[in-house]
Structure 1
Amino acid sequence: MRAAPVRLLALLAAAPLLTATNRCGVYIEQTENLQFFAPVTRIAFDVHHGSITGTMYPRPSIYIKRHTSGFEAGVGEFGDEVVDDTLELTGHCAIAHECWYDHMIEAPPGTALEFTFRDGYIELSEFDAEIRAEVGVGRFIGWEIAAPVIELSYETGDVTIEFAAIPEQVTIAVGTGDVVLTLPAGPYRCDVTPAPELDGITCDEAAAAALDITVETGAVTLRGV
């Protein structure tokens, strides 16, 4: 089933700018306020370059503000569509690094999140369903996260998460960057490379909560509260 979003506001401002290397003609600035009332349990972003700032909020719909910017020649295809129970948002660049898609989202409890970025910044608060991300270059910050499952893959980027509840499974793979997790104090099944700095966390092979973390170049810190 596909459902069209209710578009509350669309503003397009374009102005000619001075010629620069690979940057000439019209520069696009577009902001959309989107609201989706169709039943959705997952939001999936497929974005080349951009950012996400989001929070869980008890509302009857999903609200997203999307800001698109870039020179006209560099901005590619972007859009949104509800397919079955998933809201799919795309933001592609016709020329690499020549467009940017910034998002602000509010989603009700129980909404899972999935991100695919070439590069970008993700900051989330209070979400309580699965979170998955595959990112080239970027950063992930989570506040008061209660997701039972988190799966993140970064070629380059720091990951910082404060948990409001003990997760079932956290899987993080980082090429270059640091991982800092603040978790409810207690035992965790730790499969962590390199050896983590522990503060208030106990690694126990018999624990139910699993931390599977691999950092090729960087450090891992596990803190308990």
Structure 2
Amino acid sequence: MRAAPVRLLAVLAAAPLLMATNRCGVYVEATENLQFFEPVTRVVFDVHHGSITGTMYPRPSVYIKRHTSGFEAGVGEYGQAVEGDELQLTGHCAIAHECWFDHMIEAPPGTSLDFTFRDGYIELSEFDAEIHAEVGKGRFIGWEIAAPVVDLSYGTGDVTIEFAAAPERVTIAVGTGAVTLTLPAGSYRCTGAPAPKVEGITCDDAAAAELDITVETGAVVLRGV
């Protein structure tokens, strides 16, 4: 069956707001409401500078609001496309740090997420499929996460996740920052460095679920509930 076309519901603003004497010239802002009815199971973000806030929601489509801001000369290429069962969103800056792409996403159960950011803020709640992120600088916050696999790589940034269900595998690598995980009480195979501060769970080399957490400069805290 042929996939339905991408549907742009509304463009709220797409005109220059003010003139500036900066070398970049005109400052622009644009907000788009995007809804995708194709059978998407994976959403991929490739963004230079921006943010994501999102939640899993029982709906028949993936809904995304994107707000683009920056100097006209600094805003590069951005857009969206569906390839097979994968939704791809891009937000690139022609001049570093002179554009920003803020997103809000609602996606149905079973939708996995993949993020690539130079810098950005990610906050998610209730997602139940795999989550991957590669971020230069930023912060990751997760609430009531039920993903079986979480794989995050941060050059600089703090990671805080509260799990609603015990994950199968969590792999987190941070250059400078702190990692704090709140997990269902039980046994986990704890690997990586430095040695974590452990409260309310058991680190057991024979456990099936793995927590592989590496922080070069910073601390790791594993809490059970």
Same fold per superposition (TM over 0.5): yes
* TM-score category (smaller protein): over 0.9
* Corresponding position of 2:144: 144
The aligned counterpart of 1:220 is: 220
Query: Which residue in the other structure is 1:110 paired with?
Result: 110
In the alignment, structure 1 residue 15 sits paired with structure 2 residue 17: yes
CA contact (8 A) 1:162 1:183 kept: yes
Letter in 1 for 2:41: T
Structure with greater strand share of residues:
1
Contact persistence 1:31–1:66 (CA under 8 A)? yes
Q: Residues 141 and 160 of structure 2 are in contact (CA less than 8 Å); yes or no, is this contact kept in structure 1?
A: yes
Counterpart of 2:8 in structure 1: which amino acid? R
Task: For 1:165 and 1:199, locate their aligned partners in 2 and report how far apart those are by CA, in whole Å.
Answer: 17
How many residue pairs get aligned? The number is: 223
Which residue does 1:120 correspond to in 2? Answer: 120
2:207 is the alignment partner of 1:207: yes
Residue identity opposite 1:151 in structure 2: D
Question: What residue is the counterpart of 1:42 in the other structure?
Answer: 42
Alpha-carbon contact 2:20-2:27 (below 8 Å) kept: no
Q: Give structure 2 stretches of 5+ with no counterpart.
A: none
How far did residue 201 of structure 1 move? Answer: 1.3
| TM norm structure 2 | 0.97
Whichever residue aligns with residue 5 of structure 1, its letter is V
Query: What corresponds to 1:6 in structure 2?
Result: 7
Which digits, 9 at most, give the CA deviation of each residue in 1:100-137, with x for residues without a partner? 00000000000000000000000000000000000000
Shift of 1:2: 6.3
The amino acid of 1:19's aligned partner reads: T
The answer (yes or no) to whether the contact 2:18–2:28 under 8 Å persists in 1 is no
* Deviations, residues 26-57 of structure 1 (Å, cap 9, x unaligned): 11100000000001000000000000000000
1:89 equivalent in structure 2: 89
**Cα distance, 1:3 vs structure 2:** 4.9
Alpha-carbon distance in 1 for matches of 2:151, 2:216: 17
Structure 1, gaps ≥5 residues long: none
Distance 2:4 2:98 in 1: 30
